[in-house]
Structure formats: structure tokens, C-alpha cells
Structure 1
Amino acid sequence: MASEPILPRPTVEQLRHVVHNFPLIDNHAHNLLLPSHIDAHPFESITSEAQGRALRDTFKSLPHLRAARQLRELYECADDADWEDVLEQRIEWLRSDPERLYQKCIDGTHAILMDDGLAGPETVYEYNWHDRCTKAPTKRIVRIETVAERLMEGIVGDATDSDLKHASYFTDTWLAFTDDFEREIQDAIQDVEVAGFKTAICYRSGLDIEPSYEEAAIDVGRPFERYVERCVRKRKFRIERKALNDYLVLRTLEILSEALTHPDALAKPLQFHTGLGDNDISLRQSNPSYLQALIENYPRVPFVLLHSAYPFTREAGYLATVYKHVYLDIGEVFPMVSRDGQKAILRQSLELVPGSKILYSSDGHWFPETYWLANKQFREVWLDLLLEYVDKNDLTAHQAINLTKDVLFNNSNTLYDLRYTVDFREIEPIIQQSLPWRPKSTEQESFEAPPFPPPPKSISGDANVPSFPPPPTQAHVYDIQLLETFMKANGHVKYVYVQWPDFLGTLRARILPIKEFTRIISSGERIGISQGNTGTLQNDTLTSVGNPVGQIYVEPDLRSLRCTHKNDPLPSATVLCYWRDSSGRPARECPRSNLEALLNDLQYNHGISLLCGFEIEVTFLRRNDQPTSPGNPSDEAFLPITSNQAWGTMTPDQYLVALPLLGDITEGLAEAGIEVQQFHSESGPGQYEFILPPLPPMQAIDVLIQARQIITNVSASRDLRATFHPQPFAETGTAAHAHISLLPTSSQRDMAFFVGGVLAHLPAICAFTLPEAESYGRVRDDSWTGGTWLAWGTQNRETPLRRVEPGRWEVRCLDGFANMYLAIAAILGGGILGLRSVPVGSDVVFDAKDVPVNPSKLTEEQRATYGVRSKLPARVEEAWTALETDEELKGMLAQGVADDFLNMRRAESQMLGRMEGAERRIWMIERY
């Protein structure tokens, strides 16, 4: 009996589920036949490249016998159905419900990249017709030989033999052809419907391509004339003369390279048919090793080697390993090769090739069944191979899961710049014991993140600051295409606010002209700032945390690049940043890097991803220019813009004063690409709320910070102050509630994360989420602010932790003073500690129960039945003490970060303590 993998079942089940269900991007396929042409091709060709009489023997091949058995499942035939029964059932499906067949065969495919040059529109469905079967739009792969042949047919289609006698005819035709070809390729480069290009030169004259463009241009003259003569006299336009085919490939590579706007960008990929094909192909010259010199000559064009290059998989794997711009496609061998052969091909692919360089494809063509068989067979064989590697401890289960996601989806999504996203809720595993596996040994499994790239050159006003060479592969530092795409859509931007929040949540910035910002990104530089700046207060007072010796290197995260609003004094954009040290690794103090490390821990060690959505509560104030007598409320330095209001109302006062402001803000957010789900009035005077959509945590916080800036700046342009102060007036409580969803959803993990982790460490977490003395003015009972008791409840707004629904929780003890990166990091740290504390597969019953009522209304004995025995910190000093003594939570952040944070807060408290109450409140409102 074959032995089972040594991993516990939950891990194996998780891996199985991901392999069988994770959506895929098919990086190379072809159109389906129109019903009128579906009988023009023998159906048995789905498992063989043989043609004519040779195809008759396919019925006795392993690929065919296996596919025939699997097609019984597709067509819901009996287990003993023979080939004729399968064909009969297939004909019935095509007659009665073809849409069902198409949908079933392409199910699980998120998007298709389609080489639509294999046949004309009179034979097959248009590429975008296939969108009905996929989640995301189909993109085109432009076959360059088809483009060239169509152009030639248009140029010489009406020519006669007499035209060939004119001395200038060949020259004129050449000029017309090359001009038209260049224009077509350039147009395709700009076309958002085109993901890349493909050459079938392997079929025409082989992969032994002349690597020099100059030589190819010299050699093409006479062969082109012979080709033109054949086009005119025989009306045959297929290009199959080596010199001309070589020239087309090289000219395409030249055009792709010339279209790039900066030295570090990569062009749209060029796919090469390699290896497996019908007997049109020269097997010897289908070996991709012939391409090595060509690959070296065009380092800025990604080469995609199609069809596993079978039987030359190892040669293709070598090229994909040693050249950063070469990728290995593992299509067509599914279902054209037997199971053992497929497994050997995948094994050979993984011998050398990094998982980030392997792309899935079906090579689906003509028949929908080709898509289905390729998808099914790949997942079966891939799972077998991964389980073998996991069993041998070559991979952890989570590494195998992430390798699967890369091969099926991420690699193509990145290479072709598709920017597709997956709703992970659609692929949640239905597993009773879904908590991630941990080894039974004393060593905890951990994920080793890839090393950070070498640091780019530093730029600083300090002449003594050392500079560092840029990394050898700039794409590892900045994704230049993100900046290019942004600037194409936002050409008006002239400046960039390069921003980072410090420990106290103060947003620091340098403003760069766009030309300088582009230069920094293109050359791989970072911006050097004094390390002391990370430890200064809002008034630039240096604390014990600030070290005046040393540098922090600010690295813009181009994923956060976003336009400001139209009323900004500068035509500008904002970008959030990481802090790096001199070696290019995350600086331990960096709030974003601390959060990112915990997100990676959650993803790779626990198989969990998150969505985070924020509610922005804000109070709009106007300055009081007419103070009266002492003690009069009108003596306040700030007054609310509206006072005749309640939650969800729109009084005439609000309609005339607030609504125009709210509209301007919402439009400004939309212009910046920030979508507001809704906005409404809150209970406090001048208080309103904007609700942002759920996003991955890092992106959600970036958007929150940028949205707050827009709210503040639009208000300032109207001579108003927008504040996120948690208690701008005595009876006004302003929060910054965060909704956090765990994916995939599991009641056991929910409880372990939020109740066993977050709630258990909430007193210490409050040091980050409620970081100021003023934060605790709104922590009270009977006011829907989250209450004072350490408790949780389903839809209970009198608890600091509200379960909205299974998998989605709201953290209510959070306000606008918090550095949100550190606050969410603390919450995640507590949650991960909860996951670690729960034995795998155990049915832990937590002492803290779901409280269905306001805890403050219960007696002490009643609260005890719900496990409610203590309160949240009542003062910020209590939260500081809780954090100081919670060594576990402190250990979830980089070494010393929690202590530095506390030292900063205490220094700030001393500074604020020297202010009178009114002065302090005004000072805080002006800054938050």
C-alpha cells in the first residue's frame, strides 16, 4: 500500500483545495471554432499533433485513452462508455446546450490570453466572445506572421505579372510593407487589449534565427522579392522563407525595444512556439537553445518559451533560469503527453527554473474540451508532484500553495501587466479543521522572506552621507511601469509629495518636482533623511529615540502613488514610503515594514489573508473670530460648521453649509481614485462620516491616509479645519473604526484570532490604537463608543470588539491619533498570538463569550458568566503599562519598536503637559 504524505491532514487538504480550485490565467490559447466549422477538424486531434493516417493510431496512445476516460466525466457518461458513446453525447450537448459545455470546459479560468492568429473570423469566434466564459476580459496575443501575411495580401492582392516587371515595384512594396508592419506593431503595443506578441517562426523556418538585426536586414532583400513573386503569381501569402521570417522577428524585437521610454522598462512579451508541434515543424530546429544569442541581444523584451519546449524542456529551463527576461510556459503537453510524461516535464521544469518564471497555459484550441482536459490534467499532476516534494521536506505546504498561486495566476498577471485581482472568498476551503499545520517538533515552521535588494543610491543634503550603487536589476526595487502608467493617465502632475508617518502619526513629507522624482525612480535611488528625524516630536523636539548619527533611506512604494485633489495648490500626487537601512533591508523602526512582516507571517505561516475597511469620522470646524465673555462657549477658538444635526439627518443648516463641502470632498476623493461607499452626518456638532471600501490592509491604510489629506485640504481651501481629534468637544466622540475580515472564513480561526488573540492582548494594543490622553475621554459606557469593558459581542456596539458577521469584525477602540500602520500591526500581532496558542484541530472554548447585551448593565456575577472580568485601560498611562508588561505582543514587532514608541509617547506627554487645557486642545486640533 502506498504510504500517505507525512503531513497532518489539514495541511494536505489545504494544499489539495488550492491546487484544485485556485483560478488561473491561461497565458496561451486559441479561439474556439464556430458551429459551422466544428466538424472540419477530427475531434481525436485534441490529444495528438499527428495528422492524416498517422492520427488513426492515436486511439491506442496513453494520452488518448486517459482523455477518453476523463471525457466520460465531462459528458456525464456511464463508466463503461466507449469512444463512440462519448462522441454521441458530445454531439447531443452541442446540439441542445452548447453554452453549458463552453462554461463547464472553461470553468476555473480567470482570463485567457488568446493568440487569435491561427484562423480567420469566418472560422472561429472573435477573441472577446470568450469573455462569457471567464471572470476577466480576454486579451489578445498578436501573431506577427499573421499580421505580415494580411498586410501583404492587402498590398499586392491586385497585382499582376506586369507589375513585377517594373524596376521600382519590389522597392515600393518593401517600403509599404515595412511601414505598415511597423505601424501595426506600434499600434498593438499601445492597445490595452493586446497583452503581448507571438511568433510561429518555429513552424516556418526554425528557431535558428539570425541574432543580428543588421545582418537580417541585409539578407532579406532577395528572399523578399521571391516571396512577392509567389504572392502575385500563386496568391499564396504564407511567409516561410528563413531570411524574411528572421527579419520579421528581429524587426518586432526592435520595435518593442524602441517603444520603451526609459532604460529599466520591459516591453510587452514575445511568445515563441518551441518544441512540440505537428509534422510541419523541424523537430531539430524547434530546440530553444538556438535562441540564446537572440535572447542576449534583446534583454528588455521578455521571451516566453511556449509548450514546455517538449522534448527540450531542460534546455528551455536553463534559459529561463539564467536570463531574467525569459519565461517557461508549460502548456500543450496537457493533454498531449501521458501522465508520467507530464510529471517528468514538470519535474524537469522545476529542476532549475524559479517558480516566478513558470507560466500555465492550456494551448486550448478549436474545441472547448482542450481547455478542460489541460486544466484538469495539469492540476492532477501538479498536485501529485507537490505532495511528493512536501513529503520529502523539499517544500513546506505553504510554499507549495504559494508556488501554485504563482504558476497559475500571479506570474502571468505580473508579466503581462494585467492587474487582475482574485476574490479569495470564492475559493475558501471547505475544511472542518482548517487551522494551518504546525510541526510537532519544537521548531516552529517559519517563512523566510526573499532578501531585500541592495539599496539604491542615497540622495541627501548631507555631503558626508555615503552613496550606494543601484541594484543590478532595477525592477527589484521599483516597478517602473507603475510610474509610467500613472503618468500616462495623469500628465498634469508636476510635483510629488513623498510621505511617511512617524511613530506619533505625524505625516512627514518631501516635495519633489516630477522630473526629479522620475529620475530617482529610474536610477534606483532612495531619499536619505537623518535617523534623528524618526525620533522627533511634532514641534521637532528631539527625544531619546532620535539618533542624530546615521541615515534612514526613504523608498517610495509606487503602488500607493495617487493624485491629489484639484484644489491642491500644486498639480501633484502623493506616495507613501518604506524606511530602509543602509543595506537596503527594512529599517526596524519602519511602521509599514512592521505591518508588512506580520501580513507575511499571517499569509505564509497561517494561510490567512485580510481585508480592512475604515470609517473616517471627522469634525468640520470654523475659526471663531468674535470671542465674547469668559466662559462663554463662543470663546472657543473653533466652532462646528453645523450644530442643528443628529445622526443621519440633513437639516436645512446641513443642506446649505455641509452638503456642498461633503460633495467637494467626495468628488476630490473620486478624482484621486478613492471610492467612498457612503457618507452621512454623525451625532456630534459638525461631525460627519465617510466609509471607505474594504482593501488589503497596507493598501487600505495608504488610502485612509490619502483620503484624510484630501478631506483636510479641501476643508482648508474653504478656510475650515477638519479634525480627527477624538473629542473636539466635551460631548463629541470621534473614532476611526476598522473592519477586519479574515480570508478564508473559519469560525475556529475567527475565535482564535480575535478572541484568543486580539481581545486577550487588547489592553496593550490600546497603547497603539488609543495613544493619547484625550483618546480615553470617549471611552465610556452607554454612548455606543465601544464601552469600557474588555468584551466582545455580535453586533454589540457597547463592546470594543464587535463581530459584524462570521469572518468580519470591527475594532472600535481606535481613533484618529493612531499611527494606523502600527495600530493594525498591533492588532495583527495579537491575532497571530491567538492563532499560535490554539492547538491544531482542537475545539478550544474561550472564557470570553459572545455578550448579547450592554456589559455595563450587567451585574458582576452576570458579567462573569460571559467571561467579562476586567476593563479597558481608563487612562493612557494604563495602556502604556499594559504594553510594557506584554512581552508577547512587544515581540511581534521588530526589536525595540514598542519601547521606542512608548518613549516617544512619554516625551510627547511631557511636552503637552506644559500646556494649559485650552491651549493643548487647540494645539492637538491643529495637528490632527
Structure 2
Amino acid sequence: MATLDDLRKVIRSCPVIDNHAHNLLLPSKQEAYDLLSATTEAQGDALTDTHTSLSHIRAVRQLRELYDLDNDAQWEDLMEKRADILHGNFESFLRRCFTGIHTILMDDGLDDTTVYLYDWHDDFILDKTLRVVRIETVAADILREMYRKGNLPIGPALHNDDMCAEAWITFLQAFESAIVTEINDPDVAGFKSVICYRTGLDVKIAGDVQVATSGLEAFQSGYLPDCSRKDFRIESKGLNDSLVISTCRLLSAAAKQDSISKPLQFHTGLGDADIDLLLSDPSHLQPLITAFPDVQIILLHTSYPYMRQAGYLATVYKNVYLDLGEVFPQVSRNGQETILRQCMEITPFSKLLFSTDAHHFGEVYWLALKQFRQAFEKILVDYVENDDLSIEQAIDAAKAIYFNNAKRVYNLDVDLPEIEPVRLTDERTSRDYPTGMEQPRRTRAQSNREARIMQAPQPLQLPWREPEAHEKPYDLDAFTRFTTQNSDLKFVYVQWLDYLATLRARMLPIAEYRRLVTEGERIGISRGNTGTLQNDHVTSAVSSTGQLYVEPDMSTLRLTHSKDPLASATTIASFANEDGRPSTCCPRNSLKILTDRFSNDHSIDLVAGFEIEVVFLEVGTDDQYIPWTTNHAWGTFTPEQFDIALPVLAEIADELANIGINIQQFHSESGPGQYEFVLPPLPILQAIDTLIQARQVIHQIARLHGLRATLHPVPLNSVGSGQHVHLSLNSSTQSSEDLEKKELSFFAGVLEHLPSMCAFLLSNTASYARVKDNMWTSGAWVAWGTQNRETPLRRVKQGRWEIRCLDGFANPYLALSALLAAGLDGVQEGRQMKMKDCTANPAALTDTQREELGITTKMPVSLDESLDELEKDEVLKRGIDEKMIGDFIVMKRAEKEMLDGMEEKERHAWLIERY
């Protein structure tokens, strides 16, 4: 039988799902924000009185423990110690702050330039961080992009009702498209609205026509006149109401049609001074709650001071839940206990969710969880001692509120870990809680590549659809919208990547491109063009007869960067045959066929995220390439980098963002002049299209600054460059266990065929300088390991792996096609993963130890060896296209012969100039 000690053990140490929190400030920004705000919503002059509040006085006492200071330390002493922490081992301090947190659901809709990305926080918690998408931020990003492109009717155009109506429809369609995309994103746990801050919770429920009309009126009369002056803050009632209603409709449809249920959080109650407190009463949401019974609604912040109203709503409506955050640590101890009791007066435990609502500071996470545990223990023990609950019921309630309710409501694929005991002393002592168990450290790469940050939606990106045989291959309406919205467009680059990863292009005046699209035509090229080298040298793969047709994929159409001398757009193309069918000799088509087979035959969706490692070079006095920056190491930000590199790197990031490619981060890498740009995870074909367009921006902006940005794997005698790709296997229909079995079969197939795949992954003789031990590249053994960077395949977690043996010489369409072909064979054959997880450097193991792990094969050490393996690989020939593989082998051997005829210095420069 359980005892009170068992109950206390659960309350004090149960891991928690934090169902609502915010990003931490970057260390460089921490000192600009006052930690006083951790315990109050007051701002400005009102903040000065915080020192005399009970919540602040209690926090000071508790922070002494966190900072390891004496009991008589004052606020100034705490701030001095805090400054030392910020300039010292900040990450170690954060691991202590996050003790006990299993999963974070993070609203990352604020301060995107001053805070860490949401997935960065994974380093400090037991599992990972998922996103909560703030719908007003989505809308603002779309409107900001429309404003930037001159597509909002402002000034005299405000009086043109037709223009305003057209802009409103364009905006609303883009908004709904963006919300649908986020609904289908596995790293999005839910959505949030801050309409409480903007126009209040009294959302007006009406028919579709009335909602649309009200939204248009507010858009035209309330938003547009001040949109530039107010920096796109959306606070016009009809407009804000329409965003909430549109989101609810889409969430309801997803729940009914696709069985995808993602909750919608509402800020209620407690807020900043700009909130209308009367309109923050959640009772105003009752009509909305009633209108959308399929939408799970979370009332945030205990709705303070309207706890009882919120508890009532959560009791009488199946789709309403009450969050218990923010009042910890912003309310006094006695107030917190009163609030919890009022929330529990009638509300079932199954409708209550824990959160910290922490923001900006790690200390808030620590204080919120610490204070919640203290209040929660006092209340539950009191209920048990007064026979309101049995001990077992109280334990179930604690586990539910800490973890299981959020797991259920947000459909999280997590399990409550075994609960370890944590000692608790009386709160009146100076050490209320010990730091508890140290949490396992997740690597930075694991978090930063796992899922994408909140991107500015791309409302003007055109949809692609598979044409029927009798149809023209282009979406004319979408193209018309694009050209109408970009009326100054004069040229379009139609581009494709050849077998040797050379980006080819045709430049079409917009009138000719419009004719091509309107009439359903394609650009004709000779089949012989696919068999020539980078300098037009002819290989035996060239055929003098036959025609291929270049067909631009409209879904990839985007504007070029602002420094392009032409007012232009760019689009990625595939090859079609004369009958209009996709050509089998096209690497891009091959990849699409394979991804479709995974989706259609195995219900597996594949997502890829690329890391672009690039070395910036300049020409020295002896006409030799030298590194752009030399006071340089991984993750550094030296004065030289600040002065020389940062303006160019930031310009590249801005130009990428302007064309809808929102990188997750950029930073210095290990080699001189070497930097990395991290792209967001996307469906594989889209990920590679984006990679190609992003690399071109990097090359071109660097060129404008007199630099050569090269993807050469070893451009200098220093650390090499890779083009690592993270691959995730996802499924909305399979259980986690079934998906993991297929995942292991997939990568068992990959490992079996890795030596032959290296012909695509490491496609140049220079690539094999990175096939070395002890270099953190890919190692010299065919192996895999969890978080092991000395293996060519690093398993990050279930469902996500990093392919490290890939560099910038590769054609990524071919490389990923080979990967998928081998993986598909593994899945179809149900191949068992016989090779064991290698958690050590394979080179440091004995032969016997490697054999025990199943590591028996060395990686190829030359391109010739890889090509020989590829010639024998029947699985890859069946999975891709045998003729395309044959032509590729011919061309690689011809390229190697050409390069071998050069002097080393000439060959090195030749490759740098082309890659």
C-alpha cells in the first residue's frame, strides 16, 4: 500500500511536461533585460516597486540556493553572481535550471533575433522541445512579406475596395495554407492565440460571410492605414477574430478528416499592462468553445484572477483544459496555494496541465517548477489527510497534471520515466530543494538540426500537382498570381543540377516564360548535354541523337536575391521525355519516385535537413587562395569575425530569408574561413531544391564581396568540409514500435550498400581525404553509432539519423536516391539490423571488439574503389535507373582522367572555382 512518503516522492521528483513556455535569451541579451521581471508582469517605472512584493522576496531567498550564495546575500549580490555565470559556464548553470523537465512545448513567436531557437533547449531537458505556433505571428510574417513586396494597398489605394478585397483574400489564403502546413508538421504540438492582448477574448462567432466581411472591414479600415507605422502589429478586432476562427476551422477539419488533433492555447487573465483585464476573462470564449467542440482549447496562466470561471469552463466542456502556469513564481506562496485550490474546486484532475510559462531566463524555469512542487505537495497531502483523496488517487492526480494529461491532449509520443527520489527540506530553511539528478546532455547538433524554427510563411509559393496525361504541366492561375504580385519581374532562371553537380541554367525573359507556361511547352535540350563534363568535354555517355525537355517545377519558383542584377525569379527543373512523361535519366525524378514509393507503399514520409559547410576564400598576393578569416575556431566570434565576416554572413542570411529560405542558424566551423548555414528540415525533394537555391545565394553574395565560397571538401590544409544531411522517417499511421523496426531495416540496407553508395556521396578523388579516423568526419569503417561522429551514420534518436559521409561535390538528388534505394530494399526485405550500436571510436577498438559489433567492412579509400563497388551493386541499379548509373560511372571515370592529367595545384584551383 502506498504511503505519504510515496506521494511526496512523486510530487517532488516526477518529470514534467511543460505545456507552455518561451525561449531563453541569448547570453549577450540577458544583461539587457531585468531579472526583476521574472516575478511580475510590471514594466517600466512600475517595475521598481517589485522589490517589496512577496513573490520577489521569496524568489530572492530561493535564488540564493541556485546561485550557491549565503543566506544574507542581497539582490545586488545575486546580480553580481549572475553576471559571473553569464560570462562563465552558462550551459552548466542552465542544466541545473532545467532539472526535472522532460518535454517543453514552446511558444517561439517572440524575439526571434534575441533568443535561442526552440530546439536549442533540447540540450538541457530529458527529451525534446516542440513548437507551439503563435497564429498572430504567422499572420504578421505574411503581411510583412506582402508589405515588403508592395502587395498591400496603402496610401491612396486604401480607397480602392477591389484592391483591398483582393489583398485580403490573398492574405487569408496564405494564412490558412501556412496553418495547414504547421498542422502537418510533427514538431508542432499545438497553436496559440494572443488575441487577449490585442482585441480581447470576446471573439464574435458568425457565419462565413459575416466573418469574412468583418475581417475585410477591419483589414481595410483598422490595419492597412497604420501597417507600416505599427510594424505589422495586428490589433483590429474583425481581423483578429477571423484569424482565430480560421484556425479553429482548420483544426476542427484536421481532427475530423485526418484524425490530427492539435490544441489551441489562449492567453487568458494575467498579462502585461497593455491587456484589457475585463476582456481577459475566459468566460468570453464560451461561444467559441461551443462553436468548435472538436478543437481542444487550453486556457493559459490559470486565467488569474479568473480561476473559478476557467475551472468551470474546463469542467462543463469536454474540449476545454486549464493550464496552471505563470502564477509560479509571480504570485505569493499563499496566493499560489489558494489558486491551486480554486482551480481544483470543481475541475477534474484530467483537465489540468502543468506549465512554467518561463521566458527569457533559466531561473524562471527553476523557480516555477520549484514553487509549483511546494504548493502542490501541501495541497495534495492536505487532501489526503482530510480524506478527500486516497494516497493512490493523489499519486494518480500528480502524475496526470505533471505529465500524462499533456501527453494525451497534445498526442505526444513520450512515456513517463521511472521516478527517482529527491530530498525535500522545509521551505523555511535556506536550501528548499537540492539540484536533484543531473540530466543527460544532448548534443548541440542533435537539437539544432532536429526540427525547423518558425518560418515566415511563403504565401506566394506556387502549388505543384501531378498533371493528368491530357493536361498541361503548369498551374496557370498560380503563375498569374505570382507575376501579378511581382509585376517588375523581367527574367526567370530555369535551372537543373547535372550528374556531376554542376548547376545548369537557361535565362528566359518573362514574356517567353509566360508563353512557355501558358502553352504548356518545355525547353528542349540534346540528350548529349547530360553526358558532358563541367568544361563541355565529351564523354562516351554522350549520344548525338535524342531530345530531352526541361520542365520547371512551379513549386520551386521564388524570387532571386535583391543583389541579382536582373529583376528575376528562379525555378528548379526536371527532365521530361517527348511524350511528356518524367524521364528516368533525371536524378530529380528518380528521387521523387522513391519518396512516393515510401509514402504510398509503406506510409513513411521522409524529411531531410542539410548543413551547408562552406569555406570563404580570397586571393592572396601570390594569386593563391587564402582563408578569409584566420582568428577562427568552431563556434568562435572573434573581433576579426565580427568586423570582417559578420556583415557578409548576415547579408547572406537576410537575402535567404527574403526569398523564403529561413536558415535555422549560422556559425563558424573548425577550419579557417569555414562557416556553416543550417537549413530547416523539409520533405526530401523540397529540401534539396532549397539547398540548391541557398547555395547559389551564398556563392553569389560572396562573389560580390570578392570572395570565393567553396564546397570543396578539403580546400585548405585544415579541417574538411562536409554537407551532412539529417534524415527522419515519419508516419501518421504506424505505431512507434513498427516505425522503429522499419527504420532499422532501412539503415541496415543503407549500411550494406554504403561502399557502393560512396560513389554518389563522395564523388571525387579529393573527397576521400576525409575518409580518415579521428577527424570527426565519417571515420574509416562502415558503422553506425548513437551520437557517434566517428561513424558515417550517426543515430541522433529514434526516427532521425545523420549521414556524415556526404560532401559538396555530390549531386544530392543522386546521393539521396542511392540512400533511399538501399533503404527501400532493406524495408521491403525486412532486413534485420545485425550491426550493433557503436558508442566508441571504431578506430580505437580491437579487431575482436569490432567483430562483436558487426563492424567488419572498411569504407572505400578512393573513388575508383567506390565506382567498382557501384558497378556490382544490382540493388542500386534496380532502385534507381541502370542506364543513369552506367552513364554516371562513365562520366566520373572520364572526369577523373581529366583531373588526373592536371598538376595538383591546377586541379585544386579548378575544383575550387567550380564547387
TM-score after normalising by structure 1: 0.50
Partner of 1:666, secondary structure, is helix
User: Is 1:547 equivalent to 2:530 in the alignment?
Assistant: no
Taking the TM superposition and a 5 Å limit, the aligned residue runs for 1:18-29 are: none
Pick from 524, 532, 537 the counterpart of residue 536 of structure 1: 532
CA–CA separation in structure 2 for the residues paired with 1:136 and 1:718: 34
Mapping of residues 911-922 of structure 1, within 5 Å: 911-922=898-909
Match of 2:765 among 767, 773, 776: 773
Report the CA distance between 1:195 and its aligned residue.
6.2
1:820 shift after superposition: 0.6
Provide the rounded CA distance (Å) in 1 between the counterparts of 2:743 and 2:172. Answer: 46
One-letter amino acid matched to 2:902 = M
Tell me how far apart the structure 1 counterparts of residues 712 and 883 of structure 2 sit (CA, whole Å): 28
Deviates more, 1:577-586 or 1:724-733: 724-733
Task: State the shift of 1:194 in Å.
Answer: 6.1
Higher mean displacement: 653-662 or 730-739:
653-662
CA shift, 1:184, in A, is: 6.9
**Following the alignment from structure 1 to structure 2, what is the Cα–Cα distance between the partners of residues 574 and 136?**
25
Match of 1:571 in 2: 567
Give 1:400's aligned residue: none
Quick check: 1:830 aligned with 2:822? yes
Query: 1:907 is matched with which residue: 894, 897, 915?
Result: 894
Shift of 1:495: 1.1
Residues 410-421 of structure 1 mapped to structure 2, 5 A cutoff: none
Shift of 1:783: 1.0
More off after superposition, 574-583 vs 517-526: 517-526
- 8 Å Cα contact 1:753-1:830 kept in structure 2: no
Cα distance in 1, alignment partners of residues 138 and 619 from structure 2: 51
The aligned counterpart of 2:709 is 722
Q: Give the secondary-structure state (helix, strand or coil) at the position aligned to 2:681.
A: coil
Once the two structures are TM-superposed, the CA of residue 373 in structure 1 deviates from its matched residue by: 9.0
Rounded to whole Å, the distance in 2 between the matches of 1:884 and 1:703 is: 31
Offset, 1:756? 1.5
> Aligned to 1:815, which of 782, 807, 810?
807
Shift of 1:663: 1.2
Distance 1:562 1:135, change over 3 A: closer
2:616 match: 620
| Offset of residue 560 of structure 1 | 0.6
3-state DSSP of counterpart to 2:636 = coil
Amino acid at match of 1:921: H
- The letter for the 2-side match of 1:755 is F
Cα distance in 1 for residues equivalent to 2:548 and 2:828: 33
Q: Following TM superposition, by how much is the alpha carbon of 1:750 offset from its aligned partner in structure 2, in angstroms?
A: 5.1
Partner in structure 1 of residue 521 of structure 2: 525
Q: Deviations over 1:58-102 (max 9, x none)?
A: xxxxxxxxxxxxxxxxxxxxxxxxxxxxxxxxxxxxxxxxxxxxx
Matching of residue 638 in structure 1 with residue 621 in structure 2: no
Please state how far the C-alpha of 1:748 moved relative to its aligned partner. Answer: 2.9
- Within 1, Cα distance between the matches of 2:672 and 2:477? 46
Are the aligned partners of 2:740 and 2:798 in contact in 1 as well (CA < 8 Å)?
no
1:748 is aligned to 2:725: no
Partner of 2:864: 877
Map 1:228-627; keep pairs closer than 5 Å: 453-454=468-469, 471=470, 473-474=471-472, 477-624=473-620, 626-627=621-622
Q: Does the aligned pair in 2 maintain the 1:750–1:806 contact within 8 Å?
A: no
Matches within 5 A, 1:688-707: 688-707=675-694
Q: Which AA in structure 1 matches 2:631?
A: N
Task: Report the alpha carbon displacement of residue 924 of structure 1 after superposing the two structures with TM.
Answer: 0.4
Following the alignment from structure 2 to structure 1, what is the Cα–Cα distance between the partners of residues 528 and 887? 13
SS in 1 for 2:687: helix
Superposition map of 1:52-71 within 5 A: none
The question of whether the paired residues in 1 share the 8 Å contact of 2:746 and 2:825 is answered with: no
1:898 aligned to which of 882, 885, 891: 885
Q: Is the 8 A contact 2:748 2:834 kept in 1?
A: no
State how far apart, in whole Å, the 1-side matches of 2:135 and 2:908 are.
59
For 2:163 and 2:674, how far apart are their aligned partners in 1?
53
The alignment partner of 2:857 has SS state of: coil
2:656 pairs with 1:669: yes
Tell me if the contact between 2:611 and 2:679 (Cα under 8 Å) persists in the aligned partners: yes
Match of 1:867 among 854, 874, 879: 854
What one-letter code is carried by the residue in structure 2 that aligns with 1:554? V
Q: Does 1:191 align with 2:183?
A: no
For these two proteins, the number of residue pairs brought into alignment is 492
CA deviations 1:307-343 (Å, max 9, x no partner) are xxxxxxxxxxxxxxxxxxxxxxxx9xx99xxxxxxxx
Moved over 2 A (4+): 131-137, 182-196, 365-375, 425-431, 450-454, 480-493, 744-755
Give the root-mean-square deviation of aligned CA atoms. 3.3
Residues in 2 aligned to 1:427 and 1:527: alpha-carbon distance in whole angstroms: 48
Give the whole-Å Cα distance in 2 for the aligned partners of 1:615 and 1:858: 29
Secondary structure of 1:559's aligned partner: helix
* Equivalent residue runs for 1:846-857 within 5 Å: 846-857=833-844
Cα pair 1:753 1:831 within 8 Å, conserved: yes
Distance 1:829 1:190, change over 3 A: same
Q: For 2:852 and 2:800, locate their aligned partners in 1 and report how far apart those are by CA, in whole Å.
A: 25
CA distance in 2, matches of 1:724, 1:912: 17
Task: Specify the code of the residue in structure 1 equivalent to 2:686.
Answer: Q
> Which residue identity lines up with residue 585 of structure 1 in the other structure?
R
Q: Aligned to 2:629, what secondary structure does the other structure show? A: coil
Cα distance between partner residues in 1 of 2:295 and 2:859: 57
How many Å apart are 1:785 and its aligned residue? 0.4
State how far apart, in whole Å, the 1-side matches of 2:564 and 2:603 are.
42
**What is aligned with 1:22?**
none
SS for the counterpart of 2:499 is coil
Alignment match, 1:348: none
SS in 2 for 1:926: helix
Deviation of 1:453 (Å): 4.4
Aligned equivalents of 2:576, 2:293: Cα separation in 1: 47
Which secondary structure does the structure 2 equivalent of 1:760 belong to? helix
How far residue 585 of structure 1 moved from its aligned partner, in angstroms, is: 0.7
Contact 2:495 2:506 in 1 (8 A): yes
Question: How many angstroms apart in 2 are the aligned matches of 1:819 and 1:901?
Answer: 11
* Whole-angstrom distance in 2 between the partners of 1:530 and 1:655: 48
1:367–1:823 Cα change, 3 Å: closer
Q: How big is each residue's C-alpha offset from its partner over 1:787-825, in whole Å with a ceiling of 9 and x where there is no partner?
A: 111100011000000011111100000000001111111
Larger Rg: 1
Structure 1 gap ranges (5+)? 1-130, 138-181, 197-330, 336-364, 376-424, 432-449, 455-470, 628-635
Q: Distance in 2 between matches of 1:135 and 1:641?
A: 37
Task: Decide whether the 8 Å contact of 2:672 with 2:718 is kept in 1.
Answer: no
SS in 2 for 1:896: helix
Give the TM-score normalised by structure 2. Answer: 0.51
Aligned twin of 2:752: 760
Q: Quickly say closer, same or farther: Cα 1:184–1:574, change in 2 above 3 A.
A: closer
Unaligned runs of 5+ in 2: 1-132, 140-158, 175-252, 258-285, 297-408, 416-464
CA distance in structure 2 between the aligned counterparts of 1:373 and 1:534, rounded to whole angstroms: 53
Contact 2:745 2:830 in 1 (8 A): no
Partner of residue 436, structure 2: none
CA shift in 2, pair 1:906/1:426, >3 Å: farther
| Secondary structure at 2:682 match in 1 | coil
- The amino acid that maps onto 1:879 is S
Code of the aligned partner of 1:810:
E
